[in-house]
Structure 1
Amino acid sequence: MVSRATLTVVLAAFVLLSGCSGLVGNGGGDGTPTEELPEDPSAFEHADGFGAEGVTDGETALETYTAAVQTQDNYTADYGYVVTTGEGETDVDVEYRVDFEAEQAYQHAEVASPRVNATINNYYENDKRYSLAEYEGEQGNVSVENETFPPEQLTASEAVEPLLLNATDYNATVDRRNGVPVVVYQTTDIDNANGVLGVNDPDSVSDFQATFVVDSDGVIHSATYELAYMVDGEERSATMEFELTNLGDTTVERPEWADQTGDS
């Protein structure tokens, strides 16, 4: 049998082997414009940590995003990485379904690579965390642990954190997504790739493109980046896509496998 702890280690190690550093949208509004958009990003009402020329303070921007997601009561997030190395392609897909008000959450992470194929599931309810993992087709037992519901850990912030902490200068334009005024931040500056997927030397990066979309509350609705870089003389590439949707319109259902513990 495979334990949840083993799978957690495997997933983390797998991402590191791909040259990554973290693992475990357009949404909101009713689509009806209600106000004129400013042409100049400096006239936009920016959330704390964000400004007309990019991220003014990365730590503050990350805190603002984390708090803003929690004020939505509930949400859905999906993000994924595709990392290509000399060994082949690695795919990481992660999904979150979180209801802060009901204190329920579901996380699913799936990894498919030349070295490892694994999944891990976490479900939070009634101050308990239920976990189920699978490694190379072998399913472990369902485990349950007492754990106070951790809202600050359930915002999918790991996907967008590098774009906030490691890059500062972006080209900004004002737009609207599903009726919500937003700022679209874009960069192709290779220096801004520092820290993304474990990159610690901008000189190893040959191409970097990143975009993210944030509203005046600090909610990041979508984000993407593309990266081409070298590791020990080997060319690698990576992409990431992130989407936050169903703000205030997400429900979390107890998965059937959580009942396999007899704790219902």
Structure 2
Amino acid sequence: MRKAILVVLCAAAVVLAGCNGIALGGDETPARTVTPAAVPTDEPTPTPVPRLAPGLTERGVTDAFALGEAHASVLGNASYTLNGNFSVEYANGTAYNRGTTDARLAANSNRYYVRQNASGLLFGDGAFVRAIWSNGERVLVADTANDSTSYESPRNVEGESVPPREALSIDPTKRQQLYAYLGSVETRVTGTETRNGTTIHRVESTNVMNPAAFEVQWTDPRDLSLVAFVDSRGLVHEYRLDYTASLDGTPVDVRRHVRYTDFGNTTVERPPWYGEAIANVSTVTTTAG
């Protein structure tokens, strides 16, 4: 769901008024009079803040929606690789939820190979792996849990193959997360760096305006740090989110790290399980231990 996001920028204007200067003689009569300077009647025009990217100026993120849309638009026109990890851990290191996402996508996201791993107490202290591949025409899914793998080719209620983009179980652009995260904190640009010849702006959170954006099964997010690396097109090359929260009254550390690489140089190949999937669609096979 798209959420309209309003960020207000306050600019302080200092107006220097003219002054009167009167030098008094011994007889208290003016010896010299200085004509007062004219006092401006209109407020001066604020100095524009240079734009660094859509929705981003030197003062920070001004429009999280515009930035998220620009980010998704750039990714929609080139192949790329996505690497992400997410964890919710107790102080003793036990994972409530821990997962990774590795994805390779062609331009327009019709051809892709996405692999997701999840583990922790949320999964009964077990592990779950989902891999999904598309050649732009058909989609194959491999789900592995408890040493068993099942394969399927997603179909709708009419029995027709689901289009590749509809079958993709995630939004690899993460635009909704960017809307929510960057629209819920105040930010500032703290520096620049160069990656493969591209200037990247480092954006850091300074204050949380909407804590609810960071609540899921947990509450009371605090000590939050959000860092994003953005280029002039609005592409968020990387972002890191860290904070502490409470899960059923117990403190947990929440961490998320997402990174995009290999723009225009990512290829999508058949997965090693392609042949087995073709032969066993909608069946379950036991993985040899």
Alignment of 1:48 with 2:58, yes or no, is: no
Deviation at 1:104, TM superposition (A): 1.1
The higher-RCO structure (CA 8 Å, 6+ apart) is 1
Q: Is the 8 A contact 1:223 1:243 kept in 2?
A: yes
Q: Is the 8 A contact 2:189 2:201 kept in 1?
A: no
> What are the Cα deviations for residues 201-240 of structure 1, in whole angstroms up to 9, with x where unaligned?
6xx2331111000101111111111111123321111111
Give the aligned residue type for 1:95.
D
State the distance in 1 between where 2:109 and 2:227 align.
32
Matches within 5 A, 1:155-234: 155-157=173-175, 160-191=178-209, 193-196=211-214, 198=216, 204-234=220-250
- The alignment partner of 1:185 has SS state of strand
Matches within 5 A, 1:29-178: 42-43=49-50, 45-71=51-77, 73-85=78-90, 88-89=94-95, 90-100=97-107, 103-116=110-123, 117-145=127-155, 146-150=161-165, 153-157=171-175, 160-178=178-196
> What are the Cα deviations for residues 51-76 of structure 1, in whole angstroms up to 9, with x where unaligned?
222222222221111001122x2000
State the distance in 2 between where 1:205 and 1:102 align.
34
Please identify runs of 4+ aligned residues in structure 1 that moved more than 6 A.
none
Alignment of 1:239 with 2:249, yes or no, is: no
State the distance in 2 between where 1:216 and 1:244 align.
15
Q: Unaligned stretches of 5+ in structure 2?
A: 1-48, 156-160, 281-289
Structure 1 or 2: larger helix share?
A: 1
Deviation at 1:261, TM superposition (A): 1.9
Residues 178 and 94 of structure 1: CA distance in aligned 2, closer, same or farther (over 3 Å): same
Residues 248 and 110 of structure 1: CA distance in aligned 2, closer, same or farther (over 3 Å): same
Q: Is the 8 A contact 2:59 2:189 kept in 1?
A: yes
State the distance in 2 between where 1:97 and 1:156 align.
14
Q: Unaligned stretches of 5+ in structure 1?
A: 1-41
2:278 corresponds to: 261
- The alignment partner of 1:236 has SS state of strand
RMSD: 2.9
The sequence identity of aligned pairs, in percent, is: 17
- The alignment partner of 1:82 has SS state of strand
Residues 99 and 58 of structure 1: CA distance in aligned 2, closer, same or farther (over 3 Å): same
Q: TM-score, normalised by structure 1?
A: 0.72
State the distance in 2 between where 1:252 and 1:66 align.
19
- The alignment partner of 1:46 has SS state of strand
